[in-house]
Structure 1
């Protein structure tokens, strides 16, 4: 009877260990996928922001015709310009004052948006640039959590998540823009040092 109990206890322990391992692996996979989604969403928002700035600047510079690819992705831009031209030509006298007022307000708003968004774009570097610049300024390896803490302190107006920073670091490693160093269960990152090897090569040839 006692041997059966011991065997049952060992089997239960094995099941518990297996379930615990599966749960940990599942959680890590969810975290990885969530980080990938967050990074893609940030890239999509940046592209959409740049697209809006470029469209507004195009209209402010004289409404030049967009390229074929641009017209296909954003069909509403040329159609809006055509509608405005048609309204200005076919508007009745009773609506002239109201139409003129609306156009003046719309022009003022559109004139402010490109300047504000362009200024924001210049003062808001991408997360990739922030991480690369931070690594290049360090003399020792840094973990994703340490980099997140430093960037959050330097840019409190931005929401920076460790999972997104880790994904960005891995992308930099894949592009040979950073090195990954594993110490035990921890992973640390450093900037690439290829440019530093050029003086040594010059000295060797001389």
Structure 2
């Protein structure tokens, strides 16, 4: 075997070893980043669940939402830096026309102005209003579970939990807007202006008092 052939074989062996090492490091880096992404997605899911519960509690207390809506994944992007071009010596920049000098407002498709979003939120009834209105429309006392079920059917777009409804009902009882009655170990609620429930009323499913 000539010297040139031996040198080529040695270089090929070095390239094969280098490519194999780079490929192994690439695979390990992918595994590391995949593990980090999985952990971050799990943390994001927990935060979104906590956000939903906190917003429901805020609505139950009759407080209008003040915190901004969380940005959805992939909605934020970092703009690429714009390159500043320098005109060649001896050349003059063309003067801007009047139409070009006027700022143009860009409106992204599918997005609503912040004012429209705020107006939509302000017109949305609170959970307190929904619960009080629901009890007013009932002819018999209702438990917290029944109120939550009725509101869930009437407003499927809202995540209304039974424990949040129970907390809201107790706050209305404290304000003398709702009456609270017990039948055995079951608790039922009616509006303050409704007639006193009798022992036969309350066909709802029994709810154990806390």
Q: Which has the larger radius of gyration?
A: 2
Give the TM-score normalised by structure 2.
Answer: 0.44
Give the TM-score normalised by structure 1.
Answer: 0.45
More helix by share: 1
